[in-house]
Amino acid sequence: MTDFRDSEKLLHPETNKAFIFWVLLAYSIVEITGIIFHPMWRDEIHFWSISGESSSLSDLLQRKAWDGHPDLWYLLAFTIRRLSDDPVSLQLLHSAIAIFTVFLILKYAPFKRIHRVLLVFGYFYLFEYATISRNYAIGILLITLILILYRRRFRSFFLLALVLFFLAQTNIFGLIFCIVFLLTWTFEFFYSRSIRTALLKRKTVLVAGFLLIITGMAYAVHSVIPPSVTPAVGVMDFSLSQLTLRELIRSFGTLWRAWIPIPVLNLQFWNTNLIGNEPVQAILALILIFAAGVLFIKRPVVLFLYVTGLVGIIAFIFIIFFGYLRHHGHLYILLIACIWLKAYSPERDIVIRPGLLEKFYGWQKRNAGHLFSILLIIHVLVGIYAYSVQLMVPFSAGKETARYIRQQKLDRFLIAGDKDISLETVSSYLDKKVFFFSRNQFSIYMDYDPSQRRILTESGVLNLADSLLKSSGDTMVLVMNYSLKTNQGLNVRKIQSFEKSIVPDEGYYLYFLSPIENQ
């Protein structure tokens, strides 16, 4: 409940169909409009391009082995790719997932109507996990389903287990949530005699559901482990040298970035925060962690979910992969989940020692609704800003660059480029194999296998381009995500540049590289 008082009305599904219809319609219009103005960047379109190059499901799973993600979004992209050649179809699927999630929140979330509206129009539900088409939105949908089914967890345990199975297949943070929910229900099983008694009456379902969850987690872990111990470039990595106090402080600061995601107000706002000082972020994060912990202190099961979720997510960020706001945002989803389940959990008669802590708990209890409103309003304002900027500036210039290449019929030439991670966006929108200098081969999608990839300097790229030019004997189009500073005696001529992009390294520079004897 968003005012955190006992209000039975909020615990029942929304009955006002007009409220759901108009809010959902408004959200859908905004979301679809955002998709129209949102060219995908490399991490979005990668799923599309690798699916198009795969001849079968086994081929797809082999090709994505170095990506560091479970399989579910790849399988959906593979299916959509068999039905359509337009990458917008993948974005529309993603929008449908986001819209359905919003419907469930409007219908079932135990929050006031105004809070439900603010929540779905906030930064993560409107932009990061809706407009940007990644494998996170489907995880948010499944988490929402778990929260809805929570009150029926005794009667629908196997169904919950099935949802958890699929949640583990979405992304690493979906897997972490899966583990956290399982640990929480285990804690609840031993903590509450009545729950233990109810579950033990259905031992067969309990065991089957538990085995299904464990199987899902095991398969998810198997699917993200690379084929060898050599770490892939750009995916999860681990080294003892990174376990430093500075990294720990930095990792705690991600909670501030997730809960209060106010960006630097410029065109390349994405993944920035107005407070850039990492120790300050960490201090503010610890204050928020403590405040929310006090809020849940009289609801042990929710507090357990909150603490294990924080430990799981922050530990992963600290030990394995620091990530970006799209990863850190799961800390915000955890907070929303705990507030949601708090409404279903009666306050226990837990005595807090008289003093500042008791007074703080009482103050929070009286003002929790207002504090929640402030948090949601911040997210709405950030969401509006992010959404508005992308209407004016392309998220990535890759689609615009590919369109120019087609319009000018430059795709009749051999196309090559650097840096490879950004080149994939252009090659995918062209749906044409281009030459990746880092891999010394033609491809459409980026392969993160480190044994097949080498990072080249600009001079190294131009030397390789010269060799390729001599072997082909024809003009070549270079697609670069940086401006060339030297031509090393080569016949290089700039064609056009597309420098405006929210993603900093997805602005592009086009060059002709011609044989010198053709001058």
Q: Give pLDDT tens digits for 327-344.
A: 999 999 999 999 999 998
Residue 1 falls within a domain, yes or no?
A: no
What pLDDT, in 10s, does the model give residues 16-75?
999 999 999 999 999 999 999 999 999 999 999 999 999 999 999 999 999 999 999 999
pLDDT of residue 473: 83
Max intra-chain CA distance, the chain? 88
Domain boundary among 323, 358, 392: 392
Handedness of CA 180, 182, 185, 191 (dihedral sign): negative
Non-local CB neighbours of 177 within 8 Å, separated by 6+ positions: 139, 143, 167, 309, 330, 333, 334
pTM above threshold 0.85: yes
Q: Is the model's pLDDT at 263 over the cut of 70? A: yes
Please say if the pLDDT value at position 239 is more than 70: no
How confident is the model over 288-311, as a mean pLDDT?
Answer: 96
Residue among 401, 255, 272, 270 at smallest CA distance from 317: 255
Residue 5 has pLDDT above 50, yes or no: no
Q: d(Cα 111, Cα 116) in Å, to the nearest integer?
A: 6
Q: Is 477 helix (H, G, I), strand (E, B) or coil?
A: strand
pLDDT at 134 over 50: yes
Q: Are residues 324 and 238 in the same domain?
A: yes
Q: What is the pLDDT of residues 69-96, one digit of tens each?
A: 999 999 999 999 999 999 999 999 999 9
**Encoding tokens for residue 148?**
């809805």
In a domain, 46, yes or no: yes
Whether residues 403 and 506 share a domain: the answer is yes
105 and 181 share a domain? yes
Pair 199, 320 in one domain: yes
* pLDDT per position as a tens digit, 355-370: 888 889 889 989 999 9
Residue with tokens 């009545």: 194
Which of 369, 392, 415 is where one domain is finished?
392
- Predicted confidence band at 195 (pLDDT cuts at 50, 70, 90)? confident
Dihedral of alpha carbons 216, 448, 321, 425, sign: negative
Q: Evaluate if residue 280 carries a pLDDT over 60.
A: yes
Residues 146, 181 contacting (CB under 8 angstroms):
yes
What is the reported pLDDT for 235? 46
- H or E, element range at 27: helix 17-36
Residue 3 lies in a domain: no
Separation of alpha carbons 126 and 148, rounded Å:
20
Tokens of 421: 């991670």
342 and 425 fall within a common domain: no
**Averaged pLDDT for residues 272-289:** 97
In this structure, the answer to whether residues 428 and 355 fall within a common structural domain is no
Same domain as 428, residue 280: no
* Same domain, residue pair 160 and 186: yes
Distance CA 260, CA 306 (A): 18
* pLDDT above 90 coverage of the chain, percent: 76
Q: What whole-number percentage of the chain has pLDDT above 70?
A: 94
Residue 276, class by beta-carbon neighbours within 10 Å (0-12 exposed, 13-18 middle, 19+ buried)? exposed
Rounded distance between C-alpha atoms, residue 457 and residue 261, angstroms: 35
Predicted local distance difference test score (pLDDT) of residue 508: 97
Q: Is the peptide bond before 500 cis (omega within 30 degrees of 0)?
A: no
Domain presence at residue 216: yes
Q: Which residues of 188-212 are buried (b: 16+ CB within 10 A; e: fewer)?
A: beeeeeebeeebeeeeebbeebbeb
Domains: count for the chain:
2
The domain boundary residue, chosen from 392, 426, 444: 392
Position 451 pLDDT exceeds 90:
no
Check pLDDT > 90 for residue 345: no
pLDDT of residue 470: 87
pLDDT over threshold 80, residue 232: no
Across the chain, mean pLDDT equals 92
Are 396 and 42 in contact by the 8 Å Cβ rule? The answer is yes
pLDDT surpassing 60 at residue 158: yes
> How confident is residue 453, by pLDDT bands cut at 50, 70 and 90?
confident
Domain assignment present for residue 452? The answer is yes
Domain of residue 457, residue span: 398-518
* Mean per-residue pLDDT, 166-191: 95
Lowest mean pLDDT among 203-207, 281-285, 388-392: 203-207
In a domain, 177, yes or no: yes
For 287-339, the DSSP string reads HHHHHHHHHTTT-HHHHHHHHHHHHHHHHHHHHT----HHHHTHHHHHHHHHH
Are both 465 and 346 inside the same structural domain? Answer: no
Predicted local confidence at residue 240, as pLDDT: 67
- Asked whether the beta carbons of 272 and 344 are under 8 A apart, the reply is no
Classify residue 2: in a domain, yes or no.
Answer: no
Count of beta carbons in the 10 Å neighbourhood of residue 11? 13
pLDDT of 167 higher than 70: yes
**In the predicted model, is pLDDT for residue 2 greater than 50?**
no
- Tell whether the model's pLDDT for residue 510 goes beyond 80: yes
- Both 156 and 175 in a single domain? yes
**Looking at per-residue confidence, does 211 or 354 come out higher?**
211
CB of 390 closer than 8 Å to CB of 37: yes
The first and second tokens of residue 194, run together, are 């009545």
The confidence score (pLDDT) of residue 242 equals 73
- Here the tokens at position 328 are 């850190």
Classify strands 414-418 and 476-480 as parallel, antiparallel or unpaired.
parallel
Query: For residue 466, is it within any domain?
Result: yes
Q: Which residues pair with 511 in a beta bridge?
A: 478, 494
Q: What is the mean pLDDT of residues 442-452?
A: 90
Please indicate, yes or no, whether residues 324 and 462 belong to a single structural domain of this protein.
Answer: no
* Element of type H or E holding 17: helix 17-36
**Mean pLDDT, residues 377-405 taken together:** 97
CB 424 within 8 A of CB 434: no
249, 388: one domain: yes
What DSSP element (H or E) covers 157? helix 157-168
| Residue of higher predicted confidence among 408 and 488 | 408
Determine the Cα–Cα distance for residues 234 and 128; give it in Å rounded to an integer: 20
Order across the sheet with 508-514: list the strands. Answer: 441-443, 434-436, 414-418, 476-480, 508-514, 491-498
pLDDT at 515: 82
- pLDDT score, position 477: 96
